[in-house]
Amino acid sequence: MSVWLLLGAALAVVVVVVVALPFLRDPAPASDALDEPDAAELARLEAEEERDRALAALKELEADHRAGRISDEDYRAVVGIVRRDAAEALRALDRLRDESVAGIGTETAKSA
């Protein structure tokens, strides 16, 4: 009886060690360096930031107008400019996305 108990305890220890091994190892990454974005990625990030700024400015302008902090005349004078900036930022981002999709399509066609 004690032999079986001893074997069961040994088996339990072995199972615990085997299960815990992946957690006890210190992972060693190949490199801690981050990938540097290429020119296309930097242009896309800049366009996204410009879009976010323009849309935030439009949202803030409309909120200020609704709250009464900006008069109707001032709102009408500024809203067109802010909307145009937002539209230009969205168009620029769409162009960059279309170019990247077209670039991916030509790269896959070249590799095939």
- List, for residues 79-90, the tens digit of each pLDDT value: 999 999 999 999
**pTM of the complete model beyond 0.85:** no
**Residue 109 pLDDT exceeds 60:** no
Binning the chain into helix, strand and coil, the percentages to the nearest 5 are: 80, 0, 20
How does the average pLDDT of the chain come out, rounded?
A: 87
To the nearest 10 degrees (0 to 180), the angle between helices 72-111 and 39-67 is 160
For residues 82 and 61, the answer to whether their CB atoms sit within 8 Å is: yes
For residues 58 and 82, the answer to whether their CB atoms sit within 8 Å is: yes
Sequence-distant (6+) residues with CB within 8 A of 57 are 82, 85, 86
Please give the Cα distance from 93 to 42 (Å, whole number). 12
**Mean pLDDT value across residues 88-94:** 92
- List, for residues 10-46, the tens digit of each pLDDT value: 999 999 999 998 888 877 767 777 788 888 889 889 9
What pLDDT, on a 0 to 100 scale, did the predictor assign at position 54? 92
Query: 105 falls in which pLDDT band (50, 70, 90)?
Result: low
